[in-house]
Structure 1
Amino acid sequence: MFKMLPPTFLAVPVAWLAILLLIGLNSISPNLRAIGLSPANSWVVLVIQSVMALFFLTPAWKLLWKLVPPLNRWFYPDLSGEWNVELESNFSRIEAILGAAVDPKITLDMRLCPPADLPPLQTSQLRAKITQGWVGMDMEVWNPSGGGPIKQSETIVVEPFRGRQGKHGLAYIFEQHNETDTPSDANCFKGAAWIVRDREDPNVLHGRMWNDRMWRRGMNTAANVRLTRVTPWRSFWERANNIGGSSEAE
Structure 2
Amino acid sequence: MIFAMNRSLVLSTLVLVVVAICFGLLQFGYASTPHDLLEWTSKIALFISGAIVLLSIRPVLRVLHWATFANYWWFPWLDGEWRAEIRSNWPKVHRMYLAAKREVPMFDALATPLTEADELVTRATVTIESSLFDISIEIMPDGNNKVSRTRFVRPRWAKPDRPELSYVYEQLDNTALAPTDTRHHYGAGIVEFIAKSGELSGHYWTNRKAEAALSTAGTIVMRRVTRPGFFARLLRHKSA
Q: Into which bin does the TM-score normalised by the smaller protein fall? A: 0.7 to 0.9
- Does residue 1:58 correspond to 2:49, yes or no? no
Amino acid at match of 1:75: W
How many residue pairs get aligned? The number is 218
Gaps of 5+ in 2: 31-38
Change (3 A) 1:184 1:45: closer
Match of 2:143 among 138, 141, 146: 146
Aligned partner of 2:87 in structure 1 is: 88
Between the two proteins, what is the percent identity of the paired residues? 22
Match of 1:194 among 179, 183, 190: 190
Partner of 1:23: 27
Q: Is residue 206 of structure 1 aligned with residue 201 of structure 2?
A: yes
SS at match of 1:113: coil
Higher relative contact order (CA closer than 8 Å, sequence separation 6+): 2
Q: What is the alpha-carbon distance in structure 2 between the residues aligned to residue 55 and residue 61 of structure 1?
A: 8
Partner letter of residue 194 of structure 1?
Answer: I
Q: Classify 1:91/1:66 alpha carbon distance in 2 versus 1 (closer, same or farther; 3 Å).
A: same
Residues 91-150 of structure 1 deviation map (CA, whole Å, 9 limit, x = unaligned): 01112222333447623212113556x73311001111112111222221113x325xx6
In structure 2, what is the equivalent of residue 126 of structure 1? 124
Contact 2:92 2:114 in 1 (8 A): no
Give CA deviations for 1:46-65 in whole Å, capped at 9, x if unaligned: 99448724652323231132
- Tell me, in whole angstroms, the C-alpha distance in 2 between the residues paired with 1:23 and 1:56: 27
Contact 1:166 1:199 in 2 (8 A): no
Q: Summarize the alignment of residues 1-250 of structure 1 with structure 2, pairs less than 5 Å apart.
A: 1-3=1-3, 4=5, 5=7, 6=9, 7-20=11-24, 23-24=27-28, 45=44, 48-49=47-48, 52-53=51-52, 55-59=54-58, 60-69=60-69, 71-103=70-102, 106-113=105-112, 119-143=117-141, 145-147=142-144, 151-165=146-160, 167-178=162-173, 179-201=175-197, 203-233=198-228
User: Can you give the 5+ residue segments of structure 1 that lack an aligned partner in the other structure?
Assistant: 27-39, 241-250
How far apart are the structure 1 equivalents of 2:122 and 2:178?
Answer: 19
The answer to whether the Cα contact below 8 Å between 1:206 and 1:227 also exists between their aligned partners in 2 is yes
Query: Which amino acid in 2 is paired with 1:188?
Result: H
CA distance in 1 between partners of 2:139 and 2:44 (Å): 42
The amino acid of 1:94's aligned partner reads V
Question: What is the CA–CA distance in structure 1 between the aligned matches of 2:170 and 2:40, rounded to whole Å?
Answer: 51
Instruction: Check the 8 A contact 1:207/1:226 in 2, yes or no.
Output: yes
Q: Secondary structure at the match of 1:233?
A: coil
User: Which residue of structure 1 lines up, in the alignment, with residue 34 of structure 2?
Assistant: none
Change (3 A) 1:62 1:105: closer
Q: Decide whether the 8 Å contact of 2:186 with 2:208 is kept in 1.
A: yes
- Given the superposition, is the C-alpha separation of residues 41 and 174 from structure 1 closer, same or farther in structure 2, using an over 3 Å criterion? closer
- 1:134 and 1:103, CA in 2 relative to 1: closer, same or farther beyond 3 A? same
Structure 2 SS opposite 1:10: helix
Q: Distance in 2 between matches of 1:41 and 1:110?
A: 69
RMSD, matched Cα: 3.1
> Which structure's CA Rg is the greater one?
1
Structure 1 residue 194, shift from structure 2 partner: 1.0
TM-score (norm 2): 0.76
Shift of 1:213: 0.8
